[in-house]
Chains A and B, each alone.
Chain A
Amino acid sequence: MSAADLLRRSAAELADALASGETTSVELTRASLDRIADVDGAVHAFLHVDAEGALAQAAASDARRAAGAPASALDGVPIAVKDVLATEGLPTTCGSRILEGWVPPYDATVVARLRAAGLPILGKTNMDEFAMGSSTEHSAYGPTHNPWDLDRIPGGSGGGSAAAVASFEAPLALGTDTGGSIRQPGAVTGTVGVKPTYGGVSRYGLVAMANSLDQVGPVTRTVLDSALLHEVIGGHDPLDSTSIDQPLPDLVAAARLGASGDMSGVRIGVIRELGGEGYQAGVQQRFDEAVRLLVAAGAEVVEVSCPSFVHALAAYYLIMPSEASSNLARFDAMRYGLRVIPEGVENPSAEEVMRATRDAGFGDEVKRRIILGTYALSSGYYDAYYGQAQKVRTLISRDFEAAFAQADVLVSPTAPTTAFRIGEKLDDPVAMYLNDIATIPANLAGVPGLSLPAGLAPEDGLPVGFQVLAPALADERLYRVGAALESLLEKEWGGPLLDRAPALEGARR
């Protein structure tokens, strides 16, 4: 089997190939590392590649398989990890100068679970600094490029993870989603991404932006692969006090059931407020076509209204910066990370060192959000802003409750547009924030969401994302509906959407 053939297979297919002895983990891992060497100069999905470590883990995996004792179904399938997750022995920068070169002394729980399941870790993927952004342009280490068009953004904040799987550098990746950072990059790169129910996956070792919104999840090329990875990383963790202490639903079975394409008896709610005005024509068109496919497959479709969703963006941009300004206080130049001694100050105080360090170590978007959060939490403004935002959060949860009384899942376009050009919105924060308008409500209410490719927008030939939302703890519904739509669409297309992405060989930056 050729390396090129291996690279394009899904993780589920690779797991089968490993189980049957058709390939080895060392062969797979080497193919991924070679692919990274070939195309990552152009894509820049990775901030750090650990070739030696990944190959050693692959060899250990092959030894387990040879002994007839694989650690999991995915044992030996390589994976990329977003740089916001602590990895013992591997640099973890969160895309920030303030953590340049920091090597954590411990693993995030999700990383420990990857290691226990035998997945070789290829390296750490690029991201907007501290996951603040929708384009990966706010990385201190330079932007990631969209494999569909290298002049365009791959989404954010997890643009590195999405681009890594879209460019066939890795079959799997981990992302994190605070307001859409898994789903929106999935949408604009033609890949699959899942934000699990809040508390469904441990946040221990995830460098926090907004604790009440952050969630780790899978970044893959197929719905089944996301289910497989979700089962590896999910479930209760005593190290995270918000972790849900009950077993995960059977996600892989739901994905396999959905793949038949039969949607009989499934009620699908189209959210009136997430579509129409403000959504690119080709995005809306592909979304509407996908809904019609689901109807043809037996689904019952109803329109639902979530009137408070129009205030979700405003509530999010108060709650998230408030939590972030508090969380990022830990970067104080004392215990880890950068320390900058201010120039021209004799015997500077700890406070002066802190101020100089945080100015030098944080980028513009981080500074904007810290200041915004500090403002929203200051006395005199607290009730008008943070307090109001928390009430809006209640209204959004009630909207979801009412909508889920009428439908099993809710659907919308994942993002209002396809990928825009690098640089286009960099200095227009409000325009940038609008990218997450359809993904944010799920984070505010804690419900799970999935994005999968719905086709290419006719006007620009770029991927469009289709979002599925389910009630809290009912993540299996995402996989059933997602896998069904995926198989219906691929039947129409005659293969995966990514088959139409440009070859990147020889592309250089």
Chain B
Amino acid sequence: MSAVLRRIFLASLARRRLATALSLFAIALGVALGLAVQIIHSAALDEFGRGMHLLAGEADLQVIGPREGFDDAEYGRLAIRDEVADASPVLELDVRLPGRDRSLRIFGIDALRVAHVNPALMPLVAEAQRDERDLTVLRPDVLFASPAAQAELGVAPGGRLDVQAGAQVASLRIAGSVPGAGQGRALAVMDIAAAQALFGRLGRITRIDLRLKSGIDIEAARRALAAGLPAGVEVLTPQATEDQSAGLSRAYRVNLTMLAAIALVTGGFLVFSTQFLSVARRRQELAFLRALGLDRRALMRGLLVEGAVVGLAGGLLGIAVGHGVAALAFDVVGGDLGAGYFRGVAPALRFDPQASGAYLLLGVAAGLAGAWLPARDAQRMLPARALKSGDEAHMFRFRARPRIAAGCLGLAFVLCLLPPVGSIPVFGYLAVALILVGAVLVLPMLVRAAAHRWAGSRTVLWQLARARLAAAPGQAVVAGAGVVASVALAVAMAIMVASFRDSVDRWLTAVLPADLYVSAASQGTSGFFAPETLQRIAALPGVSRTMPVRFDTLRLDDRHLPVTLIARPLDGGSRLPLVGATAQVPTDEKPAWVSEAVVDLFAVRPGERLVLPLAGKPVAFRVAGVWRDYARQQGAVAIELDDYRAATGDLVANDVAVFLAEGASFNELAAAVRRLLGESTARIATPGEIRALSLAIFDRTFLVTYVMEAVAVLIGLFGVSTSFAALAIARRKEFGVLRHLGLTRREIGRLITLEGLLTAVAGTALGLVAGTAVALVLIEVVNRQSFHWSMDLHLPGVALLAFALIVIALAAFAARVSGYQAMRDSAVLAVREDW
């Protein structure tokens, strides 16, 4: 078998170099994209996890509260519990750095406690900065910056760093380093009491790290310690904290992996079309081998090996390219491919043998899957009949399978109704696959029906093309299925992204009703406006009304990430982009409006009671409605500012929305705000600027998607090109006869172009329909289940039409060029074997 395998089967791959190279390239692309996504995200996740491990140190449990913190008396209470060996309080802040377009994470720590629980955060005083009593770490005006933070910010011990505290700028002296933070982690540490005083968090901490006594059952201790804590403060294991944070990006990662998988499937399909046409062309040769004594299984094995070899070579190339793409992506867009999940994480590229091996196997599987049907067909052929000329025509007579097609589409519909599995829309993805399979199965029926009805012109080329497509719709499947799949994918993504962008745009308009936005916390959490500052802004000439906004995070349970609390004047919800039904809230109850993510994650509905932990106390609200929020995937709750202030006594605000008085000048007011607050502590923006910035971030996030979309269309066009080249070779006898009967070379070229055009028209039309269906699944099922946000369907009609026309033109051109190249042989040679 080995000589036969090498000389007959593998040599065949070498003979059709172009088709083999294109199939191999498509598989390599699929493997490379999938592997790159995998490498990038696992490196980012590893790094992210390492960071969290490092920050958790030796803590067995972490007591975590809202972003604005909880009463530090809890520390004293927990530290003396029997289960606890050591406790270390932490005030974690994301501090805005005035004059720089970034924030810095600062940990307020108790230097006497941190060494026992969390040695990585231990500050090290630089020799030159040490004071006589060696109490430098306790000084209120010093900061210890990790080596990465020193490098990134260009500061060194002895230097100073400006930080924003409330609406003020404070200057801190860099007194040393945090050597335990390791490479690549920019953070800083200061005394917890100093941080509380400086950043207006007196008596508040955000976390307590606990080390338990040996032999204590962690889960039992977790439950016991949680019992007496204030509302909204939870006890979690460091692993649970890490899992919750990593889970946030999981849906995004799965989404990208699915896109890569589709590229791989398209690669497999390309193997199918080239193998199919190669087997059609070699039918007599294979029949002859069977006649010489090659058994069915050996024949099948040989043809499968052809596919596997293409898959293996494509897989190996893909692994190399995938690592290259990952390295490039780390440099250009960062560890989260521009999506913003792992900001501040600087992962390094590493060879992952497990993932590489798995993707290599996927490449081989794609090659094998593509070769399967043609190999089975060859295995089943009757050698005596196949030895006769013209028997290959029977391979193109696909049986229509309307029941299977209808079954696929029906099942896809049913799958869309099922819930996600572990927050991953598994059934949604399956539905997408079934829609694509169903569309490909519909293609021969559509082509046959259309060919029967197409009147077209009455020229011989029309008649020949029509007859060919009507009698051999299998040709349309082989050449057109790639178009259907890639057009459907591209159209689906285009509709989804356009719908998303349009919805985000309208959402931004709805959530930005004011004329001017003044933010103390545009980056980080350390900026806020005190009540007197708010009053002074409101009193500025030209201001008709101000709307202060207070942000915090709330932990509604210990299984989910905290949701964002937004407290601002809401005018009974009329200032929110509400979706769906609303509920009337009795006047003696407090209304809350929850984002769609809260509905999905916490199963609350309008009219239901919702208890929010405010200032450590459970406060009852009634859900008045659901609003659309594209900014916070983990959920957000909006409440009236007055209700928040009444429940917490907290009168500060992070942002202020300012409405201009009639006839007031925007520029004069902006200047007045700047004079009042100083240049560097507040960001002043118009809704237009915020919108432009938000949409720019949106477009950057979807950049990767656009690239993958382009790749999918490119692979689809490769499919058309290789299919028509191979078809032209398989049909060279037919073209030879037509040349004998008087068709010129140019007319044969036109015939191939016409068939390519008709196939592309059918494939593109079906791709548009299937793509719209897939877009609906992406919008209603995949996005909703992955990210918990809804969007309005927006069909970019003109763009889709232009895209469809371009694909049709390119497909016809590809068919023309490849078909014409392939049939350059003389008509005489084409029919000679039978003369």
Q: Are A and B subunits of one complex?
A: no
